[in-house]
C-alpha cells in the first residue's frame, strides 16, 4: 500500500467555529522509501488567520489572497490520496479540518476516500508514555534533523514526520531487514530455514555459576527474602 504523510496548517484551532485550511503538504512513501511524488498547496481560506496561528506558521493573510480555494484543488488532492494509508501526527485535528473542507466543497468524508489513517501521535504515546511526543520532541528523541524548522510549514513538517514514522516503525533494524526493505534493495527475499543449523549449548563454568548464585543471594538479602525466584522455588518445594 502507498503511504502518504500529510500535514496541514490552518487559520486557527476549530473547524467547527469556521477556521479553514491554508496549507496542505503530502509526502509519498512506497516500500518505506521516499519517492519524491509529493503534493503541496497553499489555499485561500477566505478569512484571516488568528494572531496565535500566525505566530505558529508565519503565513500572512496577504500571501494567501490570490491562492486557490480548497474546492478548486479537492479533486486533485483526493485523487492523489485515494486508497493510500495516510500518516498524520494528531490525526483527529487534520482529519476534522479536511472533513469540513470536503463537506463545504460537496465531497465525501476524508476516511471514505483513503485506505486508512495512522496517527503517529497515538503511536508515540504508546511507545513513550508520560513523555512529550510533539513532532519536535520526537525529532530530538529519534535523531531526526529539524534545525530548519523555525516555523511550522505543512510540507516541511510532512517530510520530518516521514523520517519520524520510519524510525518509530523500524524495529530491530540492526538485526533484520524487513521484507519491504529487502525488496527495495535487491528485489529478492531469501528465506533461511534455521532448523538446518545445530546451535551449541554453552554451559556456565563452576566459577560463573558461583558468581551468579552470589548475586542472587545479595538481591535476596536486599529484598528481605521476597525475590520472585525464591518464592517460586519455595512454592515448588512445598
CA 30 – CA 215 distance, rounded (Å) = 50
Tell if the pTM clears 0.75, that is, is over it. no
Determine the pLDDT at residue 171. 60
Local confidence pLDDT in tens for the 238 residues of the chain: 799 999 999 999 999 999 999 999 999 999 999 999 999 999 999 999 999 999 999 999 999 999 999 999 999 999 999 999 999 999 999 999 999 999 999 999 999 999 999 999 999 999 999 999 999 999 999 999 988 776 788 999 999 999 999 999 986 443 334 444 444 444 555 666 666 667 777 888 888 888 888 888 877 777 777 777 666 655 555 5
Instruction: Give the model's pLDDT for residue 92.
Output: 97
- In tens, the pLDDT along 98-148 reads 999 999 999 999 999 999 999 999 999 999 999 999 999 999 999 999 887
pLDDT number for residue 206: 86
Query: Grid coordinates standing for 132?
Result: 512529550
Instruction: Give the domains, in start order, of the chain with CATH numbers.
Output: 3-186 (3.30.420.10), 203-237 (no CATH)
Residue 175 is predicted with a pLDDT of: 33
Question: What pLDDT, on the 0 to 100 scale, is given for residue 194?
Answer: 64
3-state secondary structure 20-39: CEEEEEEEEEECCEECCCCE
pLDDT at 188: 53
Residue located via cell numbers 534493495: 185
Annotation marks residue 152 as catalytic: yes
Q: Going by DSSP bridges, is the β-strand pair 116-119/3-10 parallel, antiparallel, or unpaired?
A: unpaired
Catalytic position from the list 57, 152, 183, 212: 152
Task: Please name which of 41, 73, 40, 46 lies closest in space to residue 61, comparing C-alpha atoms.
Answer: 46
Say what angle helices 120-127 and 154-168 make with each other, to 10 degrees: 40
> Exposure of 94 by Cβ count < 10 A (0-12 exposed, 13-18 middle, 19+ buried)?
buried
Amino acid at each position: 500500500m502507498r503511504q502518504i504523510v500529510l500535514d496541514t496548517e490552518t487559520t486557527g484551532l476549530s473547524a467547527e467555529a469556521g477556521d479553514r485550511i491554508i496549507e496542505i503538504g503530502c509526502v509519498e512513501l512506497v516500500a518505506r522509501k521516499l519517492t519524491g511524488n509529493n503534493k503541496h498547496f497553499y489555499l485561500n481560506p477566505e478569512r484571516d488567520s488568528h494572531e496565535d496561528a500566525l505566530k505558529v506558521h508565519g503565513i500572512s493573510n496577504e500571501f494567501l489572497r490570490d491562492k486557490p480555494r480548497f474546492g478548486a484543488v479537492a479533486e486533485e488532492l483526493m485523487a492523489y490520496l485515494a486508497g493510500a494509508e495516510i500518516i498524520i501526527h494528531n490525526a483527529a485535528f487534520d482529519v476534522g479540518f479536511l472533513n469540513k473542507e470536503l463537506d463545504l466543497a460537496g465531497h465525501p468524508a476524508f476516511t471514505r476516500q483513503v485506505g486508512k489513517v495512522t496517527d503517529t501521535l497515538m503511536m508515540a504515546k504508546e511507545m513513550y508514555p508520560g513523555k512529550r511526543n510533539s513532532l519536535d520532541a520526537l525529532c530530538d528523541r529519534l535523531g531526526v534533523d529539524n534545525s530548519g524548522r523555525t516555523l511550522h510549514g505543512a510540507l516541511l513538517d510532512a517530510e520530518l514526520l516521514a523520517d519520524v514514522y520510519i524510525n518509530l516503525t523500524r524495529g530491530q533494524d540492526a538485526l533484520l531487514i524487513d521484507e519491504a526493505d529487502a525488496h527495495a534493495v535487491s528485489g529478492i527475499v531469501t528465506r533461511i530455514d534455521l532448523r538446518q543449523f545445530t546451535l551449541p549449548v554453552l554451559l556456565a563454568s563452576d566459577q560463573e555459576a558461583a558468581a551468579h548464585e552470589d548475586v542472587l543471594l545479595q538481591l535476596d538479602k536486599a529484598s528481605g527474602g521476597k525475590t520472585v525466584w525464591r518464592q517460586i522455588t519455595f512454592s515448588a518445594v512445598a
